[in-house]
Amino acid sequence: MIAKKIPIAAALMAGMMLLGGCEMMEQKKWTPQEADAISIDEDGVITEIIQETLDQPYYDAAELQSRITSEVADYNAKNGEDAVSVKEMEAADGKINLKMEYASAQDYASFNNTEFYYGSVINAQLSGYLFDVSYKKVNGGVVQGSSVSGSEVIKRMDKQVLILRAPVEVHVPGEVLFTSTNAEVLAADVVNATGESDDKEDEGLILPSNAVYKAEDDASFAEMAAANRVYIIFDM
């Protein structure tokens, strides 16, 4: 049986096997502030940057590199030669720097075994996303006023949305219009998806679109826990 993959950043933190990669688009000069960051271009190509300190003595740089290379080769053998590419990889002196490129949002999601959706707001709704959380309205990289509801957000049906799991810093190919309240706006096109809400009304609130159930008891609401799903709506 093939072991279930986990995102690279999580693997590094947990002291487990890595799977991910690194670095941002070069369209705009941007240096990520967080150790795990992604950038997405207008065509949906994703570049991921991981810059972590490996502070555990059992990490072996050569073995780490070998595992990443092996995972990429295995994935591409099943999904296409250029589905995932290792652009840069350095592991030495207790640090690892990775830069990887994913041909699509689906490749990023599948390779890292995580949730990652990129498309129009209307298509996200057709895919089952409810947008039923609170949002920050953003203009020019500055949050405007108090939070707004999802009913306001879904009026922008033709705008683009990125839906992913926190924590990760995100660079989008356009201007951010809204983010769910569990994210921090860093610039007009940069969001730190922290997964931590600053909206008191959202604390402890569990809604269908931001909840997960234990596999052994899907019907039990008591087993439902809030997930770190972040919405970023932007104009190309």
* Cα dihedral: 192, 76, 8, 117 (round 10): 30
How does pLDDT run across 179-202, given as a tens digit for each residue? 999 999 999 999 999 999 876 555
What's the full length of the chain, in residues?
236
232 vs 192: CA distance, rounded Å? 10
Q: pTM, whole model, 2 decimals?
A: 0.78
How does pLDDT run across 23-60, given as a tens digit for each residue? 333 445 778 989 999 999 999 999 999 988 766 655 66
- For the chain, first and last CA: distance in Å? 42
190 vs 9: CA distance, rounded Å? 19
